[in-house]
Amino acid sequence: MPHLLSKSKYIRGLQCERALWLDVHEPRLARYTAEQMRRFDRGRDFEYAFKSRFPDGIDLSAELGRNVDLYPARTAELLDKGDGIDLFEAGFQYDDVLVLADVVCQREDGSLDIYEVKSGTTLSETYCRDAALQHYVISHCRRVNSFSIVYNGLDGVNGANGQGGRFAIVDLTAELAAEGDRIAANIAEMKTIVRATAEPDTPTGQHCLTPYACPYQHHCQQGVRQLSLF
């Protein structure tokens, strides 16, 4: 079933309504800097390093590629067997929102331990918001035993586990579960934005840079008069 929102679009929507609308309707306008692309690569490397701890994990992205709307059904098929499997990029969809979980480990009782992997060296608010959305969606599809964020520890650049040090794992299950009502309200608002036929006229400002530099800045700044310091 086609989805309206993903976790990346949800985070975009928290930053700016206009950026969310553009992400859905005009993604070709996005421009990423070389540094942003390098950051994406570092994130993937750190994620792969953590996934190596689960040698029998099944990677759905290797099987399904970019056909993301097929991920939830395939994930359900694998989990329904109840074999206690480990999945990478497992898909779950609820309330028109699709999320792909980095690592999902099925317990003997069928409940899930979920790990969201981030390469940053601190447990940022944005990471927690990302995880809260995932917990909201997944917990409406399956029983969640635990939900943890994995981030880059601070014990050295070349730590024992590679890719920037040890893996710091923080269980935030209770905190994320408490965000359910807020997540539902945010989703409802964002679906209204996405379904609008006209681009929001949100003005540029500090939100264009926080928490991430928006890839649509050049588009929104077109026609905006740049004043000289002199």
More confident: 155 or 41 = 41
Identify whether the C-beta of residue 61 lies closer than 8 Å to the C-beta of residue 89.
Answer: yes
Q: How far is CA 155 from CA 39, 44, 121, 164, 167, in A?
A: 20, 20, 10, 8, 10
When pLDDT is cut at 50, 70 and 90, the band that residue 165 belongs to is low
CB within 8 Å of 66: residues ≥ 6 apart? none
Amino acid at position 84, single letter: G
Mean pLDDT of 19-47: 90
Is pLDDT at 171 greater than 80 in this prediction? yes
Pick the CATH number of 5-220 from 1.10.3470, 2.60.40, 1.10.490, 3.90.320: 3.90.320
pLDDT the model gives residue 34:
85
- Across the chain, where does the E strand assignment appear? 5-6, 58-59, 86-94, 97-106, 112-117, 144-152, 167-171
pLDDT the model gives residue 230:
36
The domain segmentation of the chain, as residue ranges, is 5-220
26-30, 136-140, 166-170, 225-229, range with the lowest pLDDT: 225-229
pLDDT tens, 98-139? 999 999 999 999 999 999 999 898 999 999 999 999 999 999
What does pLDDT average to over the chain? Answer: 90
Is pLDDT at 162 greater than 50 in this prediction? no
Mean pLDDT of 43-63: 94
When pLDDT is cut at 50, 70 and 90, the band that residue 160 belongs to is very low
CA nearest to 187, candidates 126, 107, 113, 99: 99
Mean pLDDT of 26-50: 88
